[in-house]
Every structure is written in C-alpha cells, then in structure tokens.
Structure 1
Amino acid sequence: MTSEASPPSSPAAGPDGPVAYADARARLLAGPAASGRGRRAALAGLTDRWLAGLFAGAGAPAGVALVAVGGYGRGELSPRSDLDVLLLHEGPVDSALPERIWYPVWDAGASLDHSVRTLAEARTVAAEDLKAQLGLLDARHIAGDAALTASLRSAVLSDWRATASTRLPELQELGAERAERHGELSFLLEPDLKEARGGLRDVVALNAIAASWLADAPRDGLEAAARRLSDVRDALHLTTGRATERLSLQDQDQVAATLGVLDADTLLRQVYEAARTITYAGDVTWRAVERVLAARSTRGRRSSRLSFPFTGTGRGSGAVARGAVERRPLAEGVVEQDGEAVLAQGARPATDPVLPLRAAAAAAQAGLTISYATVRRLAAETRPLPVPWPDEAREQLVTLLGAGEACIPVWEALEAEGLITRLLPDWERVRCRPQRNAVHRWTVDRHLVETAVKAAAMTRRVARPDLLLVAALLHDLGKGWPGDHSEAGEVIVRDVAVRMGFDAADTETLAVLVRHHLTLVDTATRRDPDDPATVDLITKVVGTLSHLELLHALTEADATATGPAAWSSWRASLVDDLVGRAAAQLTGGYPFPADVEPTAEEERLAVEAARTGGPALSLHAQSSQDSFATEPMGVDLTLAIPDRPGLLGTVAGVLALHRLTVRAASLRELDPIGIGAVLLISWTVTAEFGELPEAARLRADLRRALEGSLDVARKLAERDAAAPRRRGISTPPPVVSVAPGAASATATVLEVRAHDAPGLLHRIGRALDDAGVRVRTAHISTLGADAVDAFYVTDPAGRPLSARRAAEVATEIQAALG
C-alpha cells in the first residue's frame, strides 16, 4: 500500500524526528563533499539510520524486520526518490506498529511506498506481480530480525531462479511495452531517464537476468553508463525540486551547469552514449536468454522422447567441442551459429583487416547480427585497413549498407566496440550528436545510417547504387564541424573517399552529392519551376544525368529518414517535376564503358577457340593490395568460345556451380580468322568461401555443359534445394528496363538491376535465350550486393529490337527474375 495523504503528525522533537532527518538530508544534498554515487549511498545510509531509530522507538517485537526494497534496497537514493520499505513479520503484529514508523516519514515530507507482509505473503505477491518481485530481488536489511530478512532474500531468489523460464519472457515483454510508450532514450530530445529504452529501468532488468543465473550482461562500461544516468537524474531532481525523470529542454542548461558539463548538447551526448551502452548490453543479454530458453525447450521435447542424455547446443554445454553445434558458412571466415554470425574456426583477424566488414556484411545480408564475442575479438585483434582500402573492403561496406533495416543492429554492434570510428575516424564528431530540430527524429549519426537504410530501397533507381549508399552514409558528416555542414561535408568526403579507394571520378561524384544534398528540395520549394534559370541552376550543379538521378534518390532518402514532417507528397511532386525538367535539358551517352581493343592474350584465346571449336580459357590471380591480407582472392578469367544460343547463361551457371561470384564481366564478339564469330568474355570473379577451383576442372565442366552432358540448371536447383533456408532480408524487386534509343545505334540495350545472388547471371542468360534474342555485348557489374548489368541484344538477324518487342523482352526477363 502507498500513502497519498499524511496522517496526523507525531512529535517532531528528538534525533529521530522528521525535522532532524529533513535538516540532515538538506545539508547532505547541499554539501560539496559528496556527489554522484557517493551522495546517493550517503543519503541511503542516513535514511537507514533514521528508519532504524524509528523502528527501535516503535517498540517492534522479535520476529519483525524492516527491509529496504527496489532502488532504496540497492543502496542508492536520488534526492526525490521514493522510500520503498517492507515491514516483514512472522505472525500477527500490532496494527499500530507500522503507523509509529510511517508517520514520522510522512511528516518529514518523504515519499513512502510501504507494505506489511509475512514471508509467505511476500512470496505470493511476488509470484503474482512481476514488478513486486523485481523490487524484492534487491531486498536489504535495515533493522530488526536480520535472519528473517535473510530468509526473504533466499526465498525470493530461489523462486526467481525456479520460475525464470516464464518470468524472463514476461520481463522482456514489459521492457518492449515501456519502449513503445517512452521511446528510445538515445534519440529523444526530452528523454525519460528511467523508463525509456536504454534507461535505468533496463539496468534493473539486466541485474534481474543476472540473478536468474541464465545469462549475464556485458559489463564493460555498463556500470559507468548507469552511474551517468543516475547522476543526471540527481541533478534534475535538485534543479527542478521535483521527482521527475524527464529531462525537459528547459531544464537541460541548468542540469548541465549543476554537473559541470560544458553545455546542454554535451549533456545530451553523454546521456545518449550511456543509453546506447545499456541498450546494446540489453540486446546482447536478451539474445543469450532466448538461446538458453530455446535450448531448454528443445531439451525438454527430446528428453520426453529419448532415453539417452541430451547433449544440447547451448554455449555452456560443451557441444562445440563435440561437434554438435551446427555452423553454416556465410562468407570467408564467417559462419552462422545459434542465430548469430560468428567467426569460423580458421578465421585469423590479425591477418585479415577486411574481416570486420566482411562479417558485418554477411550478417546483415543474412538478416543476423554479429555475436558479442565475435565483435569483441574483431575489435581486439584486427589491424587497421591499409590506405587506400582494398577493393573488397569498399564492396563489403556497400553490401552492409545495402542490407537496409538489417544493417542497423550490425552497425550498432560494430559501433559499441569502437569499430566504426576506427574505420571512419570522422564518425566520432557526429556520434551521439543531438539535433535540436523538431523535424529530426534521430541523432546525426543514426540519421546517417537511417538515410542509408532508405537509400537501400532505392538502389534500383540508379546506375551506381554503391555511390548512393556511401553518399547517404556520409552526407551529414559536416555537422561535426563549424560553418555550413554541406560545405564542410564536401571537404570531408573528398578525404574519406580517397581513403576508401574511390577513383577521382567517383570521389568527385560523392563530393557533388554531399555538397548539394539539400539543393534539389530547397530549389524546388523556393524557386519558380517555370523560370529557365531554375532548371539551369540544377543542371550546372549536377552536370550529368547520372549525378542527377543519384542526387534525386539521395534527396528523398535524406528527407524520409529525417522524419514525417520533412517529406510529403507535395514536396515529392515539386522535386520530381524539377528533376524531370533538368533531365530533359541534360544530354549524355549511356553510362557504360565503350568496348576496347582486345589484348594479345585475348586474341590468342579467340584464335584457339575459332580453330578448335571449343572453349579457350585463362585464369590469372589478381595481386593482393596488402601484404598480410587473406581475403578471398580475386581472379581474372578470360573465356573465348564459338558463339551459340544460351552461351552466357550456361557459362555463368558453371561458374555458379564452382561457387565463383561474378564481380564484373564484359562480353563482345570477335571474328579473329574470318571463319565465324567467337564470344570473348572477360570475368572478374571471387571464390565464395576463399577456395578457387582448378582451371582444368573448370574447363572440363565448361566442355560438359556446352556438350549437354552436364545439366547446369538441374545441378543448381539441386544445390539450392539442399541448402538450409535462411531468413535473409527483404530487398527491392529486380528492375529490367530498355535504355533510350540513343544508347546504341546497332543494338537494343537492356538494363538489369537486381539483388546479387548465386546463379543470378545464369538465370538472366537463360531468360535472354528463352526470349530468342542474341547477346552481342554485355557489361556486368556487381556493386556491393547489387547487380547492375547492361546487355546489348539484337534479333536473330542481328537487328535492334522494335520498341514493342524490347518492352516484351524486358517484361519476360523481369518475370523470370522475380
């Protein structure tokens, strides 16, 4: 029961009177000697002594104890905290006894939450009320029968551990409901320090999980984070004079001054950092709880059917040593285990600087997160990336960002261990930086990640999804510096792009996107669209159609990631109209590279293929960009083969069977000795799990496939059917379009944009063959997890397709990929 009105006062005189306690409490709170955790402990000690005196003066008989519970039980009292106490007794107790203790407390103006119960009653209430049980887990003896208090603690802990399998899911559900009501502390301009996700209530939940013995939270930084939030709450209580948990805007400057913090922004940043530490610890711990409970459930089902002991797959069961844990490969050095991405047994972070990004990208693309132990090991052992980054590092970053929503928990795991600022030192200036603008939902750093998430859904709209995703991630980095953030961001992104290994042209594109990421929406909403100068302004800014489409997508991603008030159908229509007008004014060729003259090696292979009528093949390993790198080796594969129907799909299928991932490719026709066309295909491939096939075996399988003795489609289907099903991620659907007629005078150009997957090029090739068109030239690009391919096709007679037929073929291919 809780009092809302004070009963008649008791005498205030004497050392245990309310006036004496109130005076002592006021001196403690005003004194400079104690602050923070020390002051909270001192206030709890002062209150303990006072309540013990009241207990003694009340004439309590034997078999009665006064017990502190909840926050008071933990020995920490904030200036306006409730006093949560339990009068515990073994049997009937004089009804006047509690009043003799409670009245002086009320007279002192303290907020009191009190109850009177036997041990059996306390256990019954705890079994029915989870919040009451959580409070009792922190029970601490104040006065009276210490053995009775010890019995209570022992019984409550025993009950908690015995019922953990049902109470912990209930506790998790309570946390989810609180997060829904109060939001995420890390991103709120007026956060609730206790109830919001990542607040002090979550620390209590983590301690309760530890008390269950099922799991424990990562402890690094957790105590300091909880202490920081408690310190801010103390200052908030003192400055407002109220028992409030909400850090309102009007109180932040005064709270910062009370704590000796530079300003309100610095205060919020410290609060956000603490909340993120608590949130991440909670995420890790709840995943561990879910694994243990799932293992217990499985053990129960098996034990009901089997007579031999169950070995389990839990982390503490020794199952790994016995080989009982299923580990499924995700990427080189990365496997899936217990629903998380972990390092393979042979992974060597110290000699593989790309491994953190490869693990992150593989986890996100599979819809998983990275295990806590794996991130810790990566942070401890991985050496810095060389500058400029290896190509694979850049591609893995793009793949991670391209996973959309699945990127966020992986990014948070990397950031929790400092891996993000190690990869991108400029990130530190925007990390946890608040945005004092009601339009913005997120801190600067989270807004950047959210923009990349939004951009991941727009990758089918642009020819360079990699540049869109990287620009989305970097576009507001200038907010960590003085002055116009777009201008500062342009300077920063030029440096970052060079360190990432982008060439001069791509670096310039990223600089344009960052410098002008607000230009489209500002111009569309503030200038007259019918004024030719308005369109001229945009065309001068972007310069090319490619830049325009990237800027258009970035503008929308940025606005939709900001918040509901930043984007509307009206703004979208204004921007779309302006982009359409600018596109009509711009001119330029198709963005794919022109054919080049064949090398001597390519001519030799073409002549060999023309003379023998079979495939001529060469394999050349690419040189590593770093002396200690062990990432999957890139291979340049050149294949010359007499032209025939279905060739592209067949060859791509053989590569997929050998688990070779096509990163880039080009296809063109040659007639080296005047006896017939030979297709020359130049591939850049990587081994899916780091093991390259032998050239002789690859050549033999190519011959078999071309002769018809190897059914590539059936083999791929069998392998896909046998592979374990993963949840994966939701990706934008494939888009197949016909390029404008100006793209080529002698062929129809079909552009395919799709999420990369094993056998994708094989399926495209088969679809083209089924459509009855010839592929004269092709340019294949894999940018992160996105395939952007262009096929120059003709009808069987070698003529460009009619507009109607081209549209039909595009529709057929898109249906085959869907």
Structure 2
Amino acid sequence: MSRTRIRKPRALIDRKALTVILEDMVASVPDNRDRRARLLPLLRKALADGRAEVKRRFLKERGTGAAAFAENSYLMDQIIRLLFDFVTVHVYPRGNRTTGEQMSVLAVGGYGRGEMSPHSDIDLLFLLPYKSTPLHEQVVEFMLYVLWDLGLKVGHATRSVDECIRQARADTTICTALLEARFLWGNRELPLALRQKFQANVVAGAGADFIDSKLAERDERHARMGDSRYVLEPNIKDGKGGLRDLHTLLWIARFIYGVSEMSELVACGVLTPDAASKFTRARNFLWTVRCHLHYLTNRPEERLTFDVQPEIAARMGYADRNGVRGVERFMKHYFLMAKRVGDLTRIFCAVLENQQKRRPGLSMTSLLARKRNLAGFRVDAGRLAAPAPDTFRKDPLAIMRLFKVALDQNLDIHPDTLRLITESLPLVKTLRQDPAANALFLEILTARNDPETALRQMSEAGVLARFLPEFARVTAQMQFDMYHVYTTDEHTIRAIGLLHRLETGAIKDLMPTAAREVHKILSRRALYVSVLLHDIAKGRGGDHSVLGADIALKLGPRLGLSPEETETVSWLVRHHLLMSRIAFKRDVDDIKTILDFVEIMQSVERLRLLLVLTTVDILAVGPAVWNNWKSSLLRELYMRAEDLITGGFQAEARDKRVADRREQLALALTDWPEAERTAYLERHYPAYWLTFDSLTHIRHARVIQRARETGTVVAVEVIPDTHRCVSEVIIYTEDHPGLFSKIAGAMALAGVTIVDARITTMTDGMALDTFTVQALDGQAIAEPDRIARLTRTVRGVLTGEINLSRALSEQSPRLPERTQALPVRPRVLIDNQASKTHTVVEVNGRDRPGFLHAVTQAMTRVGVQISSARVSTFGERAVDVFYVKDVFGMKVVHRTKLAQIREALEEAIADPAETASPLVG
C-alpha cells in the first residue's frame, strides 16, 4: 500500500466512535434485520462524509493524487473493518470459532495497492483456511449486500489458501492479484500462510515466465489502444505510457525482487536513485490527473477527452503563457510523463534481461554478426549493443553511429545500450556542430530502408530532441482540436515513414500521382528535410509556416545541405499548406486560381516536391483524414498546374472552347430530333460549357430529358463514384431564391456532407445543380436504400412535403458534446482578388447539422447568387468557400454590400457552444 501519511485520519472517519454507536444500537435493537436497517444509514453517512473530506482536501487545498488515493483507501479500510466486526460479533457471533471457520479479508487489485481513486472499484478476497463453511457464506453474503447497498461496485472472490495457490499457478491474472493482496481484517495468520506458500509454490523459479506474460499482456494492451502514447485523447490508465504500464513494472519488481515499492530497488542495485525518483514523480502526476478526472466527470472515466482537458489544466495550475494555451502546456507535460514511463520501462527491462534471462551461446545470429560491418559495436542476443559502458563517454559520435548501424543492419538496439544513451544525453549537445554527426543524421533521415524506425528510436531515447533543439520544442506538443490525432513530433515522424512507403510503392493506391512523381524528384534530400521541418515552428505564437521557413534557412547548412537545397527546404516549409488550401478551398476550373498557384510554383520540380509533401502531411494527420476525394482534388490541381508550367495548357479563346463543347454534346445527342437538340444547346449560358466536362454535359442532358418526358417537378439523380469516395447528385428543378439553401438543409437531414457544388441557372429559368457528396464516414452514397432516402428527402424538402426548419431543429448534433470545449473562432473572409469573375467568400465556424444551410440561407437573404461552393470539415471546424455574384451577375465590390454580407454570415455562424454551460464537477 502507498506509504503516504494520512493527515488527521479521524477527520475522515472515526472508527472508534462509530463502534461505540453501533454497540449502543445493537444493545437497543435485538432483531438482526432491524440492526441491518440501522447499520446502512450510519455507514452511508460515514462514507459520504469521508469522501467529501477527501474531495475537499484535494480540490480546495490543491492536494495530490497520492494523498487522495491513500485517504480513500484508509476510509474504505475502516468501513470494511467496521462491517466485518459488526457481522462477526453481532450478526453471526460464535464464542469459539473452529480453525476451519477462521477468515481474513484482503484487499486486492488497485485497492490492494492502496491506489484508490474517487470512483475505483473495490476488489476483495475472503481468505479461508479450508473449504467454505455455512458461516463463511453467511458472513460474506451479509457484507457484500451491505457494500452493494452503499452503492459500491465490489469485485470479490472467496477462496482457501490452497485454492489461491492452485489458481495462481494456472492464471496470471489471479497470480497478479495475489501479488498485491493486502491484509484488511480478520485472522492474521491466514495471509502469512498464503504469502509463504505463494512464494514457495508460485514465485520460485517462475520469474522469466511471469516477465514474459506481463510484457506480452502489455504489448497486447498497447496494440488494442492504438500503440501510441501520443494520441490527443489518451487513456491515462490503459494507454501507452499510462498507469497500467507503471503497474506492470511494479508487478514484475514485486514478483522478482519481493519489494513493495520501486524505490526499494535502489538498495537492490537494480535502479538508480534518479530512475526510482522518475517512477514516483510519473506515478504521482498520473494519480493526480486521474483524481481530477474522476471528480470532474463524477464517474470512473479514464480518457482525457477534449472537454475535460481545459478544466483539469486550470485546476492543476497550467495557465496560458507566451502564446501557448494552458491546456496545451498541461497536455505537453502529460505526454512528456508518458514518454518518461517508456524510458523507465526500457531501463528496467534492460536490467531484467541481464539478471533474469540466460545468455545465448554461439548462435547463428552471433556468427552472422562477425560478417557484418558493425562499426565497433557488437550483437547481444540479436540486438546491437555498445561494446563497453563508457563507449559514449569516450566517443559521443558513437551515439549517432549506433542508430546508423542499427538501421543499415536492420537490428534492434539492446535496451541496456538505450539506457546508456539515456544516461549520456548531455553529450549529444556536443554533436550539434559536428559535421560528421550531421552527415550521419542526414544519412539516417534519407535512408532507403525505413528511416522512421531509427528516428522513432532516437526520439524515444531523447537523442532527436537534444540533437535538434528546435524539435525539442514540438516534442509532446498537442494541438487542441479534433483534426490532428497525434502530437506534432509523432505526426512528423509518421510523415517521414509515409514518405518512405510512398517511395517504395507500399501506399501507391492512396495517391498514385504522388507515388509516380516522387521518383522524378531531383532534390530528394531537400524533400526529406522539409518533411522533418514542416511543422517545426508550431507553438511559437505566429505563422508556423513563415517561422519554420526561417528555421530551415539556419538548419539546412548545419545538416550539410547545399545553398540550393536549403533554399528549397525553406520554400517548401513556407508553402507546405498552399496546395491543400487551393485544392480543397478553391475552384480549379477558374483559370486565375491556376495562374496564381503556378506563379508561386515556378517549376515542375517544386510542384512535384509540394505534391509529395502535401500528401504525406495529410496522411500523417490521422487514419480517417485522407480519402480518394482529396486525392482527386490534389491530382486535378497538380495536373492543371503541370500543364500550364510545361506549356501543355492551351489557353484557347473562350468562344472556341464553348463552341467545341457544344459540338461534342450535339454529336452525343444524335438520337434527339435536331430542333430539340438545337433548342437544348441554346438553354445554357456560356459559363456552363466551361464548368463541366463533356461526359457531365451528356449526363445532364439525359437527366433533363427524362424529367421532361415524365413531367417530374423535381428531378434528382444520384451517381456513386466509389473510387473517389463521393457521389454526384444532380438536381433539376425550377430556380428560385434560396434553392441552394434548401438543398443544403435536405442533405443535412439525409445525413450526407456536401463537399462540392456547382450551381447552374438555365436561360428558361430552370436550375441544374450538381452536388458532390459523401456519407458522414467519408465514403460514397452507394447503397440503394441510402440513395433512395437521399432522393426522397431532397424531393420532399423542395416540394414542401418536409418542413425543413422543424426537421433540422429535431436533428441530433453531429459532433459529440465533448468537442464543445474545443475553441472554434468564427470568421468570414471575403476575397475579390482570387477570381476575375467572382467574389470568393470563405466561412469558418463550428461544424453542426445544418451549418451549410444556415450559411447559404444568410446569403439568400442579402441577395447573393452562389455559382459554386467547396465544403470541407477539419475535425470540429467547418470551412466553406463560395464563388458568388451579385443579383446583376457581377462581382460584389460595393463596400456597403460587402459589409452586409459579412454581418449576415457572422450572425449565421455564431458558435452555439459559446452560450453552453461549462462542465463542472
């Protein structure tokens, strides 16, 4: 149990005083059923008062998790002792109990460790000398019913000493529970007998098997939780780097060395005082966070979700500082602690391997090692190891050389050597200006055989942050939003791994264009360095692209890049968000969009570099961010820009291009009567012919033909494109103000997301609108029943059969409530320079059902015509871009009108979360 001293224990619970009260009650109440009825309110009040005092100390006095855990355990100990005495003395009294009727109550699990958070379960072991007797059953049943009536969640087992031993030998979980069993009350001899037999019959000779079992259990848990300690909503108990990892170390230490606390391993020569101190600090930090989490949510919550992070940060004293939000400072501290847990695991496992496992003989691995170029290192049990404890002290460059050799030879690094590196980290500073060290690092970064593995090892060991101080600033840095899944350093290392996989063709199906173009790139070193540095300036309180470009100019020469390579890296970092912004937010059919983009690119080499960098950057954000629709948008922008740069883009006269498109459609409609075909061609304005390709022109014509033949008032056709993960929705109906807004609302009701829209008005007053949509999971609408529902909903809204306002108000929120804690600053940007023919309006706000409907409704009210729209969501943020004109079909230039548009849109996108009540607890 935790050795934390309990302050003023009687302020938590006074067992002696309660005992007197219970004895007086027993004397005046002879019936056991009445006694139980009187017992419950007494214990319930004692428990509630004690818990309130623990909470008061923790919250009001800025207490620690260690103190709260110890106090909660102490409180529960006294409740159970009171209950046990009451049952055995007053309810089922026996003057002289036989040996077989003796019993002990032991705490196991977290309660056994004295690690009892505010909403922890209570795990009890009722320990018997032999098999269970009727008296045992009566006592256990009475106690359990009272504990359940107190609202406690109780895990329990009733076993004899021999049963415990037998099951511990067969089940590692039971073995672990007994390992941390703590005597609470009852017979004192039984726990001693259990401990002796456990040591002799379970522990003796089973150390290696127990270690293997617990580490395998840990690895399986990590895989189940995502195998990263850098997810932005971590599980503080079961996640990688969480409390369960510390428990695993403690279990192994208890089993192997017989200690009750990791600090005792210092005297055993197993851990250094510094390592033991780090264990204690990490555990105390996680304990405190867990207490805050339980008190705040009022339940046994283990995930640090976005909605609780700001409040816990505030309660723990993390204030905003130097442009960094308090919640981001708190989460960075959390991730650094999680990394520390990984360091401790590595150090401890190295010691265990040396002390517990047999050294292999002359294996095939060691024979092969003789033929390898190991640069002075050796192979130990199949892993690369330093030849001597003072290797790095004598030759700091060997630290960098170790990772290079491990990568070249495809070897893991021995945990004992990683421990030596951790202890030698101050030496890494001397390597920063060493040309040889920088050359080795650049070789690792650009290696053909998976640099991600080496960089991750360097990061885990702390070398990467020491070698690149700029990288240290983004290590464990989180971004407080739902779009970015990983911390900045984890995102960067994943991006480098994805670049390697793109080169090898392993992920060519995700982005075929980038997979093809990456092999044409001449500045490969610059590409890899730009991926490493693209987010290097995040968290510095400015535009990280601009600040990062300046950092690249300084780091490039140090890493050994030529002036040309350095300038290329700086340019890429400066513009690493440009291609995605243009592809996802702008109309690439607008020639000015392409011309402006190409003016920045200037060369095909830079265009290729930016395409590849953009691809791996987006892929590394998170598993659900990339899809074929985004791939197609980037590909379209790339191809158009490449055509323009290389001269393949023929800027034909507008009239000739329109005439060519009309002629192609006329040839495709030879089955129509000539007069009907001619009349149809005249019903489209010139802009229509340049907005869509010839295949789409044909599709539109067939939809309109069917609608006219059947007399359909609202024609809706859905064409799935599963390859691009989108569906095209063609809507043909009579045009009227607010049509786009109604369609947007209908899409929201049908549970689909609009990602692109092309609005066409025909000369006869009919509207031909084409929407590109996705399901909420980012896939195409392809199933017949979903297509039917979408079609039915759109028709119902446009014909008035569905009351749109009422239906939207009844719709449940799309994003979980916990995301309301994430800040989304609503803003409206109006750009009259991005297009020669349209005013471009960009709207940013918190995503919610009907967001696009509200925005387009506001535009309708102020008399703005929407020609096209591109809609994106980034986690909790909606970013919608519209190409608009005024009622005369011109760009909106009048200041008063622009102000009116801005005011209407700002009102429409006002964040409803701003008025929501904060989470309290």
Which bin holds the TM-score, normalised by the shorter protein?
0.5 to 0.7
**Residues 404 and 440, structure 2, Cα contact 8 Å, conserved in 1:** yes
Query: CA distance change for structure 1 residues 246 and 405 in 2, over 3 Å: closer, same or farther?
Result: farther
**Residues 68 and 291, structure 2, Cα contact 8 Å, conserved in 1:** no
**Residues 179 and 255, structure 2, Cα contact 8 Å, conserved in 1:** no
For 2:439, the aligned partner's letter is E
Query: Partners of 2:69 and 2:390 in 1: how far apart?
Result: 47
Counterpart of 1:377 in structure 2 is 420
1:457 aligned counterpart, secondary structure:
helix
Counterpart of 1:570 in structure 2 is 629
Q: Identify which of 435, 446, 449 aligns with 2:479.
A: 435
1:242 aligned counterpart, secondary structure:
coil
Query: CA distance change for structure 1 residues 39 and 531 in 2, over 3 Å: closer, same or farther?
Result: closer
For 1:267, the aligned partner's letter is F
2:107 aligned with 1:68, yes or no? yes
Q: Identify which of 524, 543, 546 aligns with 2:602.
A: 543
Counterpart of 1:359 in structure 2 is 402
1:431 aligned counterpart, secondary structure:
coil
**Residues 194 and 245, structure 1, Cα contact 8 Å, conserved in 2:** yes
Counterpart of 1:797 in structure 2 is none
Query: CA distance change for structure 1 residues 361 and 542 in 2, over 3 Å: closer, same or farther?
Result: farther
Offset of residue 14 of structure 1? 10
Counterpart of 1:232 in structure 2 is 289
Q: Identify which of 276, 280, 284 aligns with 1:223.
A: 280
Q: Identify which of 38, 49, 52 aligns with 2:67.
A: 38
Counterpart of 1:657 in structure 2 is none
**Residues 461 and 553, structure 1, Cα contact 8 Å, conserved in 2:** no
For 1:36, the aligned partner's letter is G
For 1:257, the aligned partner's letter is A
**Residues 351 and 383, structure 1, Cα contact 8 Å, conserved in 2:** no
Query: CA distance change for structure 1 residues 44 and 528 in 2, over 3 Å: closer, same or farther?
Result: closer
Offset of residue 142 of structure 1? 1.6
**Residues 468 and 554, structure 1, Cα contact 8 Å, conserved in 2:** yes
**Residues 452 and 496, structure 2, Cα contact 8 Å, conserved in 1:** no
For 1:415, the aligned partner's letter is S
2:46 aligned with 1:20, yes or no? yes
Counterpart of 2:336 in structure 1 is 273
Counterpart of 2:489 in structure 1 is 445
Counterpart of 1:500 in structure 2 is 559
For 1:546, the aligned partner's letter is E
1:72 aligned counterpart, secondary structure:
helix
Q: Which sits farther off after the overlay, 455-464 or 233-242?
A: 455-464
Query: Partners of 1:289 and 1:144 in 2: how far apart?
Result: 37
Query: CA distance change for structure 1 residues 570 and 113 in 2, over 3 Å: closer, same or farther?
Result: closer
Counterpart of 1:59 in structure 2 is 88
Offset of residue 274 of structure 1? 2.3
Query: Partners of 1:404 and 1:277 in 2: how far apart?
Result: 30
Query: Partners of 1:386 and 1:498 in 2: how far apart?
Result: 17
Counterpart of 2:77 in structure 1 is 48
Offset of residue 283 of structure 1? 5.5
Query: Partners of 2:624 and 2:469 in 1: how far apart?
Result: 31
Query: Partners of 1:59 and 1:566 in 2: how far apart?
Result: 62
**Residues 291 and 338, structure 1, Cα contact 8 Å, conserved in 2:** no
Query: CA distance change for structure 1 residues 346 and 126 in 2, over 3 Å: closer, same or farther?
Result: closer
Counterpart of 1:77 in structure 2 is 116
2:392 aligned with 1:349, yes or no? yes
Counterpart of 2:466 in structure 1 is 422
Q: Identify which of 217, 242, 248 aligns with 2:299.
A: 242
Q: Deviations over 1:719-772 (max 9, x none)?
A: xxxxxxxxxxxxxxxxxxxxxxxxxxxxxxxxxxxxxxxxxxxxxxxxxxxxxx
Query: CA distance change for structure 1 residues 497 and 324 in 2, over 3 Å: closer, same or farther?
Result: closer
**Residues 66 and 144, structure 1, Cα contact 8 Å, conserved in 2:** yes
Query: Partners of 2:209 and 2:153 in 1: how far apart?
Result: 33
Query: CA distance change for structure 1 residues 366 and 8 in 2, over 3 Å: closer, same or farther?
Result: farther
For 1:71, the aligned partner's letter is G
Q: Deviations over 1:333-376 (max 9, x none)?
A: 43332232222349843454433222112213333333333234
Q: Deviations over 1:517-551 (max 9, x none)?
A: 12122223334445554444344323334333322
2:166 aligned with 1:109, yes or no? no
**Residues 523 and 565, structure 2, Cα contact 8 Å, conserved in 1:** no
Query: Partners of 2:189 and 2:371 in 1: how far apart?
Result: 53
Counterpart of 1:510 in structure 2 is 569
Query: Partners of 2:205 and 2:241 in 1: how far apart?
Result: 27
Query: Partners of 1:30 and 1:505 in 2: how far apart?
Result: 63
Query: Partners of 2:368 and 2:282 in 1: how far apart?
Result: 35
Query: Partners of 2:597 and 2:180 in 1: how far apart?
Result: 64
Counterpart of 1:744 in structure 2 is none
1:244 aligned counterpart, secondary structure:
coil
Query: CA distance change for structure 1 residues 463 and 331 in 2, over 3 Å: closer, same or farther?
Result: farther
Query: CA distance change for structure 1 residues 408 and 209 in 2, over 3 Å: closer, same or farther?
Result: farther
Query: Partners of 1:66 and 1:411 in 2: how far apart?
Result: 51
Q: Identify which of 162, 165, 187 aligns with 1:145.
A: 187
For 2:311, the aligned partner's letter is Q
TM-score, with structure 1 as normaliser: 0.62
Query: Partners of 2:222 and 2:110 in 1: how far apart?
Result: 20
For 1:550, the aligned partner's letter is L
Query: Partners of 1:477 and 1:358 in 2: how far apart?
Result: 24
**Residues 334 and 347, structure 1, Cα contact 8 Å, conserved in 2:** no
Offset of residue 219 of structure 1? 4.6
**Residues 85 and 114, structure 1, Cα contact 8 Å, conserved in 2:** yes
2:596 aligned with 1:553, yes or no? no
Q: Which sits farther off after the overlay, 100-109 or 425-434?
A: 100-109
Offset of residue 67 of structure 1? 1.1
**Residues 67 and 88, structure 1, Cα contact 8 Å, conserved in 2:** yes
**Residues 347 and 419, structure 2, Cα contact 8 Å, conserved in 1:** no
**Residues 329 and 336, structure 1, Cα contact 8 Å, conserved in 2:** no
Q: Which sits farther off after the overlay, 345-354 or 239-248?
A: 345-354
Query: Partners of 1:228 and 1:585 in 2: how far apart?
Result: 57
For 1:213, the aligned partner's letter is I
**Residues 165 and 198, structure 2, Cα contact 8 Å, conserved in 1:** yes
Q: Deviations over 1:638-670 (max 9, x none)?
A: xxxxxxxxxxxxxxxxxxxxxxxxxxxxxxxxx
For 2:288, the aligned partner's letter is D
Query: CA distance change for structure 1 residues 570 and 238 in 2, over 3 Å: closer, same or farther?
Result: closer
Query: Partners of 1:582 and 1:14 in 2: how far apart?
Result: 77
**Residues 418 and 461, structure 2, Cα contact 8 Å, conserved in 1:** yes
Matches within 5 A, 1:645-684: none
**Residues 147 and 154, structure 2, Cα contact 8 Å, conserved in 1:** yes
Q: Identify which of 300, 314, 319 aligns with 1:257.
A: 314
TM-score, with structure 2 as normaliser: 0.55
Query: Partners of 1:442 and 1:405 in 2: how far apart?
Result: 24
Q: Deviations over 1:707-728 (max 9, x none)?
A: xxxxxxxxxxxxxxxxxxxxxx
**Residues 294 and 301, structure 2, Cα contact 8 Å, conserved in 1:** yes
Q: Please list every run of 5 or more consecutive structure 1 residues that lacks an aligned counterpart in the other structure.
A: 1-6, 299-310, 314-322, 589-818
**Residues 414 and 420, structure 1, Cα contact 8 Å, conserved in 2:** yes
Offset of residue 110 of structure 1? 2.6
2:155 aligned counterpart, secondary structure:
strand
**Residues 14 and 20, structure 1, Cα contact 8 Å, conserved in 2:** no
